[in-house]
Structure 1
């Protein structure tokens, strides 16, 4: 059999339309199926006078086909296109329903029960196809969302069909006294409704034909062999066990709630109404859980929600065992427990579908259905054992319904602990990202390759960049980490949890090979090409190792930029990491993915240009339609020059500050205060900003001490004639601040690499949010583009120079 991995692609509009046709068809199919079954069950009870016996026989007939025909159902789904199976199933249902109508018209109960069994068999045969077709229509990335929708609509259809059929039959029976006529009318309507389901199935997009082996007699009894195939892959085995646990838990809750209804009513006339209320509460809670899970998994399948839901199931089960059985609190907790159980199932179900090999998906899913039914049978056996033990021992308290639910809660807790030990990284990632998203509003822009190895090359601003990128990237990310850092316990745990790619600078060839192997395996691998956290907010020198890695792996490179993180406690704003109070509780973070680059042509210059282009994209997303001056103010706040919430001085009468609109917005948005003085006194303000007027007064000053001078004068590239002042040449063009120098940042800790905030002869480094397109600067602060003045160039590190002063340093 062909177990080759499928080629992942983004579904077309036609495939999405086909998916929704499949959802509506499945919903109609499930409604028809359950409504017909729950017309025949009370009819049998009316005829036999012993509803409980009919209920048990009906329950056996509904479950038995999933056990008897599991290998054949899987073979059918793998042998033929799943679309064909679904069309055939819709036709079969219509024919079976027509036959049921004939049996009711003839008042032939045995023939009707044959039809009842045929309906259950039709459901068993369509199950692997209707689940397996979802990935074929929408792909892996959308599978979690699509699977959640499928389960939600199916649950609502089942609930509606059961309740509607029961109520309609009871009302008609009360009016006519004839069970046959009470069932016939609604059954005719259901049969008519099966025709639109056939038409909807024709709207499903075409799917590939399967490649299963030809049908043989031995296939019908290959149950053990099929379960062996299910369990052969450890990941699929454990995932399927999690799914089976859900169905065991759901079956327990259903039987347990029926027991509660019998205990409350004594099995009298109110039993049906009370048990229906319990069923409705659980079903609505479960449908809501499936819908909510589809939103949680909209971007990708996140298994971390499984242990979280398991914890919630455990707690809600304990609470449910403690609240009085009568009253609204019980119904609410029953719905809450079912809600979290649905969230528990949805990622597992989607992941199981995603992991199944394409050529054997039907077989694996059919085996999983068989396993689910066996789990349900075990639960039924346990519940019967409790029932017999209670009768035999005289109904002791320690076998009561409260204790039974407490035992179920313990089982939930044990399963949850087991899952946490299996996938701790998934749990930590979901919790960590939830916390990060509480503190940061993260948005992403740009396109990202849907499949295959991708080398992600982002700027590095904060210690939390890995979380920002994980939250923004549509695919899971593996980070490259220097092996020497794993001596730190926290870093070692992080690297183990997030499956980092460890490299050693002492063994460069092995390091390159490890990264390339991860890319060849189809992972998204992230390398911070600066090799260090920026302490200026600007892009630092790029290391060249990524070029070799990308070419060895022959994978695309995606330059990336994170905007808005400078100023958080994780950044070096204020010349320190961590040891500062956050200025805001919620921050906007924008992550931009520039167009992917071919590994054959991507070098340091191309990556730097791509990262600058990504910085403009990220800034545009964060500026979100604000004025260009507002975007320019955000750029000022992204570098370690003018400080947020700090004072800076200007000279009375200097026209330069008033010519820069971004300054006023920076002051308003980030709490900086402009102090106007008649002469530059560094003892009053340490940072000063201005043009020729300020420069002249500094150079004429007799004060021996000095501050920091952000020089926007025409002679800014020339040395300042006052050695006590730290001279930071800057450049503004047409009222837009384009480049700034800044003081060299101090070392964050012993061993930190030197970083430069300025370069002799330059006008500063290009602010993040600008990129150079030929000789034109572009970015949200200059939406129409801005040509560099004649004679100005930008070097390979992003510093702006005037050719006449340091031509030999330019490119």
Structure 2
């Protein structure tokens, strides 16, 4: 096989996206032309012989028969030649078939016209595996779910608009001319002209590699069972294709069942066509919206977890269809909802099948899946015909009535949903869990391109909340395996969760085995996540990193990626307010920004390099939330640490110029509802937290109050001891009106056995705020970030130590 980037997670190039959208235009126009031609010939046959219903049956047979007869050959063609060339050939052939169909109508040769229509249907059988198989070659795996959903949505729109417009135009022209041939001839001229755009757009599609060099053998034309055997040999492909076949069987059941209902309420006489059309339009529109929704749900990756979710909804809506009267609006709405859920059910399966097919046999596998769909559809149609026959033969018993037919359909939906849920429990939990998570959190992601498309990767994120694993799972384009201490797995719920998500268990009492288990997961090509701090931060800042990840990265031989979650501090899962969980959320749809830093080679993954990479990622994440505003960025930084109270009050001294010189402080107050209370006296019994400069410091020193509070000291001599008992002195640093570092009260222990986390250090001007990177040049230290894009130099003689504190050099 020629070089192909088949199974990667790449981002498509601009030319590949152009080719994909050209494919969408071609397949949409192709589906419209075919369906319009069908709905011109059906009423024409009815006008000629008064056998419109027989024509409908014949057209349906001709549409399905080529998928059965020519499946092996169509698959071989799609693999043997470039799929782009197959699409070009199909566009040329469709144009010729439409021209021949127009000529047949002009010559009043109806049998020849039906032969041309069968040729169009045969063309679709060859077109289908090529148009589906080329999608991954154009957009890759990461965007395949989105692309597949759009492809199905536009095809369904084309089918609906083709049949509605063709039938309406034919009826109008027939009423005015009284001649069926003339009524069909004009629209067919337009359809023939519409055969040109697909050819032009097919030529825009980039050339794709040939996937197979196998020569055609006559036995291939009848190798249906051999082709199905290839499909069924792989358990993943077999199960996926069965799910797809179930969808088409279910869709066929709903279509035929709704026609039966239309006949019952109209007696098959006047109004039957209108009622059946309403049902068809409701179902088709529901399906179109479902495909569009599914493409959005999977715009970043294929999410199989939506399949059982949609299956549950299909089961419920199918049963509910028996409740309203078929002539009511409620019935049409339920029909549309059922179709909507069915589309959500199908889209992930379709995309997954395209993704998992071996590239050298993708056309063959997709053609075999089409064959299987048609065969199961025929079985369902035969079963419904048998039920209809028995219903009349047995005197129309209630248990064979149309409403009771919904019960076995719902049971089938429920059974396959349970079966799928048992096969992919982790995907189901992931989709449901992340949907709930996204209800409360708005998660932005940046730096995804830094994650390699495949192979082992070690993610090293900061650890702010108990929900960090969920945030990272939602943000990462690849499945993530988390490293967890075995001691946490004593609880049943956590143990089950860890088993579902294939967590890597480690034991601190057996460090060598822990390192080996993590390294082995990396060697297998997994994305492994390890929190290098080894504990949750209780200050909001980056704590000391443990060295274990260095050995894991080297033994695994895989790149390490620093990661930062910004905005998580303040959620109920963080230690903001000096407690986990036991607090009211500040807001719903909490903003979280997850940034993936640049990959670091195994031999370079030491504590200093990773720490710097994490601070760079913190700046990237903060930049996403601050939207280019330096003032907003600094305000968000103040909210990222356990310093000033959110939604509370803090005191400032009347006349103190320091607070007014910090625009980020005013932005922090505005965003988080914090109020600075100006007072001419320092009274810690009224306001526990105080912020200011030299003036406030002097007033506190001279104060005679015995009750002390927390003093965020931005004075020039902030590192000097305050000399007042009862006060918690927190030296801070602001440069050019930008708050760079803050000290904060030492947080209490979160639980027995927790390690202390200092919020301040003697002689230090605080900890550098998240969102700043730190760099040393010629003995001078510089911080940079969204709040200071040009960079700020630390006071002369100061540096940043390994814990992030701004301290005197030496």
Q: TM-score, normalised by structure 1?
A: 0.94
- Asked if the contact 2:8–2:141 (Cα under 8 Å) also holds between the matched residues in 1, the reply is no
- Bigger shift: residues 309-318 or 109-118: 109-118
Aligned CA distance change for structure 1 residues 698 and 131 (closer, same or farther; 3 Å): same
- Asked if the contact 1:451–1:522 (Cα under 8 Å) also holds between the matched residues in 2, the reply is no
- Bigger shift: residues 765-774 or 122-131: 765-774
2:573 aligned with 1:570: yes
Deviations 1:276-325 (A, max 9, x none): 22212211221121122211211211122222222222222222221101
What corresponds to 1:788 in structure 2?
794
Matches within 5 A, 1:57-96: 57-96=58-97
Give the deviation of 1:650 after TM superposition.
Answer: 4.3
Give the deviation of 1:468 after TM superposition.
Answer: 1.8
- Asked if the contact 2:7–2:140 (Cα under 8 Å) also holds between the matched residues in 1, the reply is no
Q: Describe the SS at the equivalent of 1:480.
A: strand
What corresponds to 1:770 in structure 2?
772
Inter-partner Cα distance in structure 2 for 1:705 and 1:189: 89
Give the deviation of 1:587 after TM superposition.
Answer: 2.0
Aligned CA distance change for structure 1 residues 665 and 197 (closer, same or farther; 3 Å): closer
Aligned counterpart for 2:691 among listed residues 679, 689, 692: 689
Aligned CA distance change for structure 1 residues 64 and 669 (closer, same or farther; 3 Å): closer
- Bigger shift: residues 231-240 or 12-21: 231-240
- Asked if the contact 1:445–1:617 (Cα under 8 Å) also holds between the matched residues in 2, the reply is yes
Give the deviation of 1:240 after TM superposition.
Answer: 1.1
Aligned counterpart for 1:587 among listed residues 576, 585, 590: 590
What corresponds to 2:439 in structure 1?
438
2:394 aligned with 1:396: no
Aligned CA distance change for structure 1 residues 28 and 672 (closer, same or farther; 3 Å): closer
What corresponds to 2:14 in structure 1?
13
Inter-partner Cα distance in structure 2 for 1:214 and 1:326: 56
2:551 aligned with 1:545: no
What corresponds to 2:251 in structure 1?
250
2:712 aligned with 1:710: yes
What corresponds to 1:189 in structure 2?
190
- Bigger shift: residues 676-685 or 600-609: 676-685
Give the deviation of 1:99 after TM superposition.
Answer: 2.8
Inter-partner Cα distance in structure 1 for 2:631 and 2:157: 52
Give the deviation of 1:30 after TM superposition.
Answer: 1.2
- Bigger shift: residues 340-349 or 596-605: 596-605
- Asked if the contact 2:534–2:545 (Cα under 8 Å) also holds between the matched residues in 1, the reply is yes
Aligned CA distance change for structure 1 residues 215 and 513 (closer, same or farther; 3 Å): farther
Aligned counterpart for 1:460 among listed residues 450, 458, 463: 463
Aligned CA distance change for structure 1 residues 221 and 710 (closer, same or farther; 3 Å): same
Inter-partner Cα distance in structure 2 for 1:581 and 1:613: 32
2:503 aligned with 1:500: yes
- Asked if the contact 1:212–1:360 (Cα under 8 Å) also holds between the matched residues in 2, the reply is no
- Bigger shift: residues 472-481 or 343-352: 472-481
What corresponds to 1:485 in structure 2?
488
2:147 aligned with 1:146: yes
Aligned CA distance change for structure 1 residues 4 and 670 (closer, same or farther; 3 Å): closer
- Bigger shift: residues 133-142 or 742-751: 742-751
Aligned CA distance change for structure 1 residues 786 and 374 (closer, same or farther; 3 Å): same
Aligned counterpart for 2:519 among listed residues 516, 541, 557: 516
Q: Describe the SS at the equivalent of 1:401.
A: coil
Inter-partner Cα distance in structure 1 for 2:309 and 2:711: 54
2:377 aligned with 1:371: no
Inter-partner Cα distance in structure 1 for 2:684 and 2:112: 100
Aligned CA distance change for structure 1 residues 571 and 46 (closer, same or farther; 3 Å): same
Deviations 1:770-796 (A, max 9, x none): 111333211222232111121111112
Aligned CA distance change for structure 1 residues 683 and 366 (closer, same or farther; 3 Å): same
Give the deviation of 1:10 after TM superposition.
Answer: 1.6
2:528 aligned with 1:525: yes
- Bigger shift: residues 259-268 or 519-528: 519-528
Aligned CA distance change for structure 1 residues 721 and 152 (closer, same or farther; 3 Å): same
Inter-partner Cα distance in structure 2 for 1:602 and 1:151: 45
- Asked if the contact 2:291–2:344 (Cα under 8 Å) also holds between the matched residues in 1, the reply is yes
Inter-partner Cα distance in structure 2 for 1:659 and 1:148: 53
Deviations 1:215-236 (A, max 9, x none): 1122122222222221222222
2:766 aligned with 1:758: no
Inter-partner Cα distance in structure 2 for 1:37 and 1:84: 26
Q: Describe the SS at the equivalent of 2:603.
A: coil
- Asked if the contact 1:635–1:768 (Cα under 8 Å) also holds between the matched residues in 2, the reply is yes
Aligned CA distance change for structure 1 residues 164 and 664 (closer, same or farther; 3 Å): closer
Q: Describe the SS at the equivalent of 2:169.
A: helix
Inter-partner Cα distance in structure 2 for 1:600 and 1:487: 36
- Asked if the contact 1:41–1:55 (Cα under 8 Å) also holds between the matched residues in 2, the reply is yes
Q: Describe the SS at the equivalent of 1:762.
A: coil
What corresponds to 2:742 in structure 1?
740
What corresponds to 1:111 in structure 2?
112
Inter-partner Cα distance in structure 2 for 1:42 and 1:254: 20
Q: Describe the SS at the equivalent of 1:365.
A: helix
Inter-partner Cα distance in structure 2 for 1:321 and 1:402: 5
Aligned CA distance change for structure 1 residues 694 and 224 (closer, same or farther; 3 Å): same
Give the deviation of 1:711 after TM superposition.
Answer: 2.8
What corresponds to 2:807 in structure 1?
801
2:631 aligned with 1:632: no
Aligned counterpart for 1:619 among listed residues 622, 628, 634: 622
Aligned CA distance change for structure 1 residues 526 and 108 (closer, same or farther; 3 Å): same
Aligned counterpart for 1:558 among listed residues 561, 568, 571: 561
- Asked if the contact 1:459–1:561 (Cα under 8 Å) also holds between the matched residues in 2, the reply is yes
Q: TM-score, normalised by structure 2?
A: 0.94
Inter-partner Cα distance in structure 1 for 2:676 and 2:167: 76
What corresponds to 1:607 in structure 2?
610
Inter-partner Cα distance in structure 1 for 2:509 and 2:368: 50
Q: Describe the SS at the equivalent of 1:403.
A: coil
Aligned CA distance change for structure 1 residues 666 and 110 (closer, same or farther; 3 Å): closer
Deviations 1:477-532 (A, max 9, x none): 33222233111122112212333232333333343333334334443322211111
Aligned CA distance change for structure 1 residues 159 and 450 (closer, same or farther; 3 Å): farther
Aligned CA distance change for structure 1 residues 692 and 54 (closer, same or farther; 3 Å): closer
What corresponds to 2:325 in structure 1?
324
Q: Describe the SS at the equivalent of 1:600.
A: helix
Q: Describe the SS at the equivalent of 2:483.
A: strand
Deviations 1:51-109 (A, max 9, x none): 33333233222111111211111111111110111111112222222333333344444
- Bigger shift: residues 17-26 or 5-14: 5-14
What corresponds to 1:33 in structure 2?
34
Give the deviation of 1:799 after TM superposition.
Answer: 0.8
- Bigger shift: residues 375-384 or 465-474: 465-474
Inter-partner Cα distance in structure 2 for 1:102 and 1:474: 53
Give the deviation of 1:694 after TM superposition.
Answer: 4.2
Inter-partner Cα distance in structure 1 for 2:684 and 2:174: 96
Aligned CA distance change for structure 1 residues 743 and 61 (closer, same or farther; 3 Å): same
Inter-partner Cα distance in structure 2 for 1:732 and 1:189: 72
Q: Describe the SS at the equivalent of 1:540.
A: coil
Give the deviation of 1:137 after TM superposition.
Answer: 0.7
Inter-partner Cα distance in structure 1 for 2:206 and 2:687: 70
Inter-partner Cα distance in structure 2 for 1:381 and 1:666: 69
- Bigger shift: residues 25-34 or 47-56: 47-56
Inter-partner Cα distance in structure 2 for 1:192 and 1:633: 61
What corresponds to 1:262 in structure 2?
263
Cα RMSD after superposing both structures: 2.4
Q: Which runs of 5+ in 2 are unaligned?
A: none
- Bigger shift: residues 595-604 or 280-289: 595-604
Inter-partner Cα distance in structure 2 for 1:701 and 1:245: 80
Inter-partner Cα distance in structure 1 for 2:280 and 2:156: 11
Inter-partner Cα distance in structure 2 for 1:690 and 1:801: 21
